[in-house]
Amino acid sequence: GQQVMQIPQYQHVQEGEDFTTYCNSSTTLSNIQWYKQRPGGHPVFLIQLVKSGEVKKQKRLTFQFGEAKKNSSLHITATQTTDVGTYFCGSGTYKYIFGTGTRLKVLA
Amino acid sequence: DAGVTQSPTHLIKTRGQQVTLRCSPKSGHDTVSWYQQALGQGPQFIFQYYEEEERQRGNFPDRFSGHQFPNYSSELNVNALLLGDSALYLCASSTGTKNSPLHFGNGTRLTVT
């Protein structure tokens, strides 16, 4: 079945440094959605990408969908302590498959 | 505008027992999905309910069953609990259209002893 792999599993950065997490699939994805889960919280929807090569920005966050629609990335510029949490990518139409997530820690 | 609400927030059960978890979707949403999230893992899809019927199901045994009511709220039932069923159970509502973003509740933390 469809699987979505995410790397890295963990990332510790100094506040102000950049951060990137990658999402990869062996099959073509119809879409990619990104969610953020704060410690002790629930996943919160960030954005959806559906077009090949699509790039979307939300303030310091940049989301990309690969040309082959098999990978995606989330890049955070100049991390802040409020960025702490686990970032998940997911894909699907009705049944969503999620990656294992990248846990981001930001050191002040 | 109420978001997704789940009850209870925490639950402790013994192996072999049965449990029922409840979810009320976000206002305006008619579709409810259930996910199991083990510690340090991503959410795993259990099933989705739309128009009071199970529309899709993940790789979970028949011990996991559900129901959706006419007001779109939903229940997740797990029978014959195993230690491995200990996890955070997340309910997510959506509008039911393809690719509709999921709105998650705070989850129910189930511990099986």
Written as one string, the DSSP assignment of B14-64 is -TT--EEEEEEPPTT--EEEEEEE-TTS--EEEEEEETTEEEEE-S--TTE
- B40, two tokens: 């340090």
Task: Express as a percent the part of chain A with pLDDT over 90.
Answer: 91
Q: Give the pLDDT band of residue A1 (cuts 50, 70, 90).
A: low
- A interface with B, Cβ–Cβ < 8 A, is 1, 6, 30-31, 33, 35, 41-45, 48, 50, 88, 90, 92-101
Would the CB atoms of A42 and B58 count as touching at under 8 Å?
Answer: no
Closest CA to B37 of A43, A25, A2: A43
CB atoms within 10 A of CB A51: 10
Predicted local distance difference test score (pLDDT) of residue B99: 84
pLDDT above 80 (res B96): no
Q: What is the pLDDT of residues B27-83, one digit of tens each?
A: 999 999 999 999 989 999 999 999 999 999 999 999 999 999 999 999 999 999 999
Q: What 3-state class would DSSP assign to B1?
A: coil
State the pLDDT at residue A105: 97
Q: CB distance B99–A101 less than 8 Å?
A: no
pLDDT given at position B2:
66
A32 contact partners, CB below 8 Å, separation of at least 6: A23, A48, A49, A50, A65, A72, A89, A90, A91
B33 touches chain A (CB under 8 A): yes
A41 pLDDT more than 70: yes
What does the pLDDT read at residue B69? 97
Please list, in sequence order, all residues whose beta carbon lies within 8 angstroms of the beta carbon of residue A27, skipping any fewer than 6 positions away. Answer: A2, A70
Least trusted range by pLDDT, from A7-21, A76-90, A93-107, B76-90:
A93-107
Beta strands in A15-101 (DSSP E): 19-25, 32-37, 43-49, 55-58, 61-65, 71-76, 85-91, 97-98
d(CA B25, CA B68) in angstroms, rounded, equals 11
Residue A19 · residue A85 · CB < 8 Å: no
Taking only the tens place, the pLDDT of each residue in B5-37 is 999 999 999 999 999 999 999 999 999 999 999
Longest CA pairwise span in chain A (Å) = 41
For A92, nearest residue in chain B (alpha carbons)? B99
pLDDT of residue B1: 55
Residue with tokens 């969503």: A96
Judging contacts by C-beta atoms under 8 Å, the chain B residues touching residue A6 are 42
Interface test with chain A among B9, B32, B41, by most A beta carbons within 10 Å: B41
Residue A103 has pLDDT above 80, yes or no: yes
Cβ-Cβ contacts under 8 Å between A and B: the total is 61
